[in-house]
Chain A
Amino acid sequence: MPDKLLAIEQKRPEGDWRDAKVEFRKGTICYSAAPKNITYLSLPNPREWQPFDADWKLPPNWKEIILKGMKERLRKYRSFRLFMEICVRCGACADKCHFYVGSGDPKNMPVLRAELMRSVYRRYFTLTGRLFRALVGARELTEDVIKEWFYYFYQCTECRRCSVFCPYGIDTAEITMMGRELLDLIGCNINWVMEPAANCFRTGNHLGVQPHAFQDSIQFAADEAKEITGLPIEVPINRKGAEILFVMPSADYFGTPHYYTLLGYLMLFHEIGLDYTVSAFASEGGNFGLFSSHELMKRLNAKIYEEAKRLRVKWILGGECGHMWRVFHQYMDTMNGPADFLEPPVSPITGTHFENARSTRAVHICEFTADLIHHGKLRLDPRRNDRWNVTYHDSCNPSRAMGLLEEPRYILKNACRNFHEMPENTIREQTFCCGSGAGLGTDENLEMRLRGGFPRANAVKHVREKHGVNLLACICAIDKATLPTLMEYWVPGVEVAGVHELLGNALVMTGEKERTTDLRGEPLVREEATRE
């Protein structure tokens, strides 16, 4: 019932903002991490507990642990120290957060979310705070403050839209990341992050798919691609000496609509004769460690270069995954590199040097494909996508963490005939989050996801009403998992697809049989009468 969630209370809350009491209820929280997952990852304080319990079973010296952890991180991360010091509370970020827009809760204003931690920083790490306490906005660190941190740092998707508007460039996502990292030290974390992380550590991917199941799923996709095209499509797995290691999010070989994107990749690689391999070990592009701590991110990311080295490939090509690209683009090189055993990536088809990936040696598939189209290497029949009227959701991390803005649009405009942009303050670097990123895409958190996703959905509604848009394209597996629910609730009639699904539909392959269906198995409909 959208009306219920649209009734957003904008009134000033009772009492003082420093009062840390939070009401935990199903719908706006995520369940705690199961002890087996915490134990598997060798993290502190595994135990049975839930956020709505009165007793969170914190370790007796929890306060000492948090303050020591803060001290270490203030020394280690200059950005953290800077962001604790420099905010002038201008309010530019206040209404830029999708969770604030959708919930009306002032503590979801990025400035106030950060203040939840700054107030503790001031009390324990500044002279004025130690002397003048509340007068300078300093707060005691209490158990209620820990609970409040948990509530609000797991009500931020680390999407960084607010940071685009901050005149000081404060990256509030990094404050959330620090908050989650500190909470990890006393065992306050969520299962939707820790179970995928534990799975990933055990099997190489978030879903816990073992090598024989990986092989089965990939083979099924190859067989289906064969059926659609009539071409002998093979997918090499763990093949040593291939030129390129292709890494994708595990949801691409599990979920729907992700799977159709996988078909698109496989058809593209076959058509251009790419010398590549996938890997059952580096079988996850995503990295839920990013949503927990730098340490865990590093541990999970290590397999990518390790596998590239083992398979003796020249460089890495990465699929349609969102936060994978924040990790690849901003951390991988310094955390687990230098990847001096790889070569600076060059497209074997066009000869293009991917200068921006010279250091990480990992290229985004949209850059790779856009380059192929630009050089006239692909034959595309966009009429095969005529049943779709497409708009594009910039997935937060590829857009804001690596500046991938034009390439997906270039592919879409070549692969489809009906494309319409959403309003400019909701796309590109100003894109609105799906509301379910950073590990929050779980069912018990559905109300908050629908609230947080409201600004995105509202922009889709605009183009649906104005242009008849019926497909939301994106390049992130969390988007593909959660936007369908968001659309169903706020904008029924809009489906979700990956960019390479649409490319796969349009791709005219050498020697293929006449296509009668699209990658979803639906009959091809052409609007020739209206368009030509």
Chain B
Amino acid sequence: MPLFEVEGRSYEVDEDGFLQEPERWNREVAKDFAATEAIADLTEEHWKIIHYIRNYYLEFGIAPMIRKLCKETGHKLNEIYKLFPSGPAKGACKLAGLPKPTGCV
């Protein structure tokens, strides 16, 4: 399994760089992974989305529906794409330490 290494920390990731040990997540992990998604600086807006996804995941074991994420964080989908260029299901989930969603998505 590939390893993602940054400043002496190393994470087990999948081929697309998604964290494979979701329980290891903390704010530092999100910051470490931000660079792989071409996000230079994590703003409050980023954190709001990351925390929403993370908390939903802890409660439900899955990422929230995209429409629900938009509504509950007050962002339109295109705004989320501006914050996370690879989108809610990829970039935002990656920074929140979730596995990549698979299937017809």
Contacts and interface: CB of A to CB of B under 8 A. Distances in A.
Interface of A: 31, 34, 48, 50, 191-192, 195-196, 199, 205-210, 212-213, 216-217, 220-221, 224, 249-251, 253-256, 258-259, 286, 288, 321, 441-444, 476-478, 480-481
Given A253-B65, A259-B67, A443 B103 contact: no
B62 A478 contact: no
B61 A208 contact: yes
B104 A477 contact: yes
B104 A478 contact: yes
B38 to A, nearest CB: 15
A196 B16 contact: no
A278 to B, nearest CB: 15
30 contacts: A31-B15, A48-B1, A191-B102, A195-B102, A196-B102, A196-B103, A199-B103, A207-B62, A207-B102, A207-B103, A208-B61, A210-B60, A210-B61, A210-B62, A216-B60, A250-B104, A251-B103, A251-B104, A255-B65, A255-B89, A255-B104, A255-B105, A256-B66, A256-B67, A259-B65, A286-B104, A442-B102, A443-B90, A478-B104, A481-B104
Interface string B82-94: 0000000110000
Given A207-B62, A210-B60, A210-B61, A251 B105 contact: yes
Interface in B53-73: 60-63, 65-68, 71
B39 interface: no
A213 B60 contact: yes
A258 to B, nearest CB: 8
In order of increasing CB-CB distance, the 8 nearest A-B pairs are A206-B103, A477-B104, A213-B60, A251-B104, A196-B103, A255-B105, A256-B66, A195-B102
Interface of B: 1, 14-16, 60-63, 65-68, 71, 77, 89-90, 101-105
At the interface, is chain A mostly helix, strand, loop or mixed?
helix
Contacts of A216: 60
Contacts of A217: 65, 68
Q: Which of B61, B62, B67 has the most chain A CB atoms inside 10 A of its CB?
A: B67
Given A210-B62, A443-B16, A476-B104, 16 more contacts: A50-B15, A192-B102, A207-B103, A207-B105, A209-B62, A213-B62, A216-B60, A217-B65, A220-B68, A251-B103, A254-B101, A254-B105, A255-B66, A256-B66, A256-B67, A443-B90
B52 to A, nearest CB: 13
Contacts of B89: 255
Contacts of B102: 191-192, 195-196, 199, 206-207, 442
Contacts of A444: 15-16
Contacts of A476: 104
A213 B16 contact: no
B104 A249 contact: yes
Given A199-B102, A251-B105, A444-B16, A256 B62 contact: no
B37 to A, nearest CB: 13
Given A255-B89, A444-B15, A206 B104 contact: yes
A139 B104 CA distance: 37
Contacts of B67: 220-221, 224, 256, 259
Contacts of A48: 1
A286 B77 CA distance: 26
Nearest to B86: A443
B16 A254 contact: no
Nearest to A253: B65
Contacts of A210: 60-62
The interface centre, meaning the residue of B71, B77, B102, B104 with most chain A CB atoms within 10 A of its CB, is: B104
B36 to A, nearest CB: 14
Contacts of B71: 224
Nearest to A479: B104
* Among B63, B77, B103: residue with most chain A CB under 10 A: B103
B60 A254 contact: no
Nearest to A210: B61
Contacts of A478: 104
Contact of A213 (B1, B61, B77): B61
A192 B68 CA distance: 25
B77 A207 contact: no
B68 A286 contact: no
B103 A259 contact: no
Nearest to B68: A220
A441 B101 CA distance: 12
Contacts of B16: 443-444
A220 B103 contact: no
Contacts of B68: 217, 220
